[in-house]
Structure 1
Amino acid sequence: MSKAKASNSYLGVTEPISLSGPTEKDVLQTAEVEKYLTDAGLYESQEESVSREEVLGKLDQTVKDWIKRATRLSGYGEQFVQEANAKIFTFGSYRLGVHGPGADIDTLYVGPRHAPRNEYFFQWLHDILAEMPEVSELHPDLDLSQDSILHNVDEQTVRSLNGCRVTDQILRLVPNIPVCLFSNMP
């Protein structure tokens, strides 16, 4: 049995082909490919990156305001209204860091049970977001990795949650995220 396997210092079920780091040639070739991708416009600008963060912040605040309104209109007391919360999660290429300029941002909304998807999300929140000029498309701090989040939810909700869960699991299992993400750029 090899030393790597005996100490279980690798991820996955099989032993890695090599534990060696990149050679000087590898580093130079990586820099050349990165330059080519940058010159080809496959990385978003700093301005676009900041804009994405601002959009996500505004969406998060909109959802938080909306859930308080939904809670109040559902007849709950003011203390419960103030404690009501919702959260936006990103997944897909944006969450993995492999999105290109102009790419969409896949998001998932997770909120309390008293604001069911059909009645509240697809009617009220959809209407609020649709009125915002900066919103062009609409598609449907919580630990999503816990399996308990999947209890007592319908199959559609499980699929939505698993978009984030699978992306997060990929990020946890990859030992060198920058190298992996770089090799998967569009």
Structure 2
Amino acid sequence: MVSSEGLCGSQPPIAAPVTQYGVTKPISMAGPTAADIQRSRDLEKFLVQAGLYESKVEASKREEVLGQIQEIVTNWVKQLTRLRGYTDQMVEDAKAVIFTFGSYRLGVHGPGSDIDALCVGPSYVSREEDFFFVLHNILAEREEVTELQPVPDAHVPVMRFKFNGIPIDLLYASISHLVVPHVSLNHLLF
């Protein structure tokens, strides 16, 4: 349908194109009002008082635990590389990389929540034997690890355990490279 304005020859000014994400247009492009901002502050204050945020001490402990797990899986892959007869240079370059995902990665976890983590290793390290047998045994020998439970037959095979009291769900995937490249998580996600 054509409006009478379009027939008169008067054209509306050309606006800069707006990028639209999704199928429908946004309900509103307006920013938050002062009342919205105050409600957000009140909600955050309530959540803090209710104990739904972890303390800085627990946050530091989680980061420390992830660093220790990273060190363990790197040493595990180096050990397997050496046992399989690869060169000294390959052993030096060998590594696995831990990536977090889920509520921890999103920053919406609460105190006591588990950390979902993915261990990415080289092509010659298998989930069935190396992850669920060799790494399992390495973790079982560590005093920091409790409640170690491999679940290899789950829809998503996972090794569950607590490391210094922090619950961890660890998954494994190998990539089709002999050496895991140094890649940031942002590069993988975006």
Unpaired runs of 5+ in structure 2?
1-14, 150-157, 160-172, 177-184
**TM-score, normalised via structure 1 length:** 0.70
Q: Distance between the aligned counterparts of 2:174 and 2:129, measured in 1?
A: 20
The 3-state SS of whatever aligns with 2:119 is: strand
- Structure 2 counterparts to residues 150-169 of structure 1, below 5 A: none
Q: Which residue of 2 aligns with 1:133?
A: 143
Q: Distance between the aligned counterparts of 1:83 and 1:95, measured in 2?
A: 27
> What do residues 35-78 of structure 1 show as CA deviations (whole Å, max 9, x unaligned)?
00000000000000000000000100111111000110111111
Deviation of the 1:84 alpha carbon: 1.1
- Structure 2 counterparts to residues 86-97 of structure 1, below 5 A: 86-97=96-107
Q: Which residue of 1 aligns with 2:71?
A: 61
> What do residues 64-101 of structure 1 show as CA deviations (whole Å, max 9, x unaligned)?
11100011011111111111121011111101111000
Q: Distance between the aligned counterparts of 2:94 and 2:38, measured in 1?
A: 52
Q: Distance between the aligned counterparts of 2:26 and 2:175, measured in 1?
A: 36
Q: Distance between the aligned counterparts of 2:175 and 2:86, measured in 1?
A: 24
Q: Which residue of 1 aligns with 2:126?
A: 116
Unpaired runs of 5+ in structure 1?
141-148, 153-163, 173-186
Q: Which residue identity is paired with 2:38? A: L
Q: Which residue identity is paired with 1:131? A: E
Deviation of the 1:135 alpha carbon: 2.4
Q: Which residue of 2 aligns with 1:41?
A: 51
Q: Distance between the aligned counterparts of 2:138 and 2:52, measured in 1?
A: 33
Q: Which residue of 1 aligns with 2:22?
A: 12
Are positions 1:83 and 2:93 aligned together?
yes
Instruction: Check whether the contact 2:121–2:175 (CA below 8 A) recurs between aligned residues.
Output: no
Give the direction of change, closer, same or farther, for the CA distance of 1:108–1:41 in structure 2 (3 Å limit). same
The 3-state SS of whatever aligns with 1:7 is: coil
User: How large is the Cα RMSD of the aligned pairs?
Assistant: 2.6
Please identify runs of 4+ aligned residues in structure 1 that moved more than 3 A.
Answer: 136-140, 149-152
Deviation of the 1:150 alpha carbon: 9.6
Structure whose alpha-carbon radius of gyration is higher: 2
Instruction: Check whether the contact 2:78–2:94 (CA below 8 A) recurs between aligned residues.
Output: yes
Higher helix residue share: 1
Q: Which residue of 1 aligns with 2:4?
A: none
Q: Which residue identity is paired with 2:68? A: K
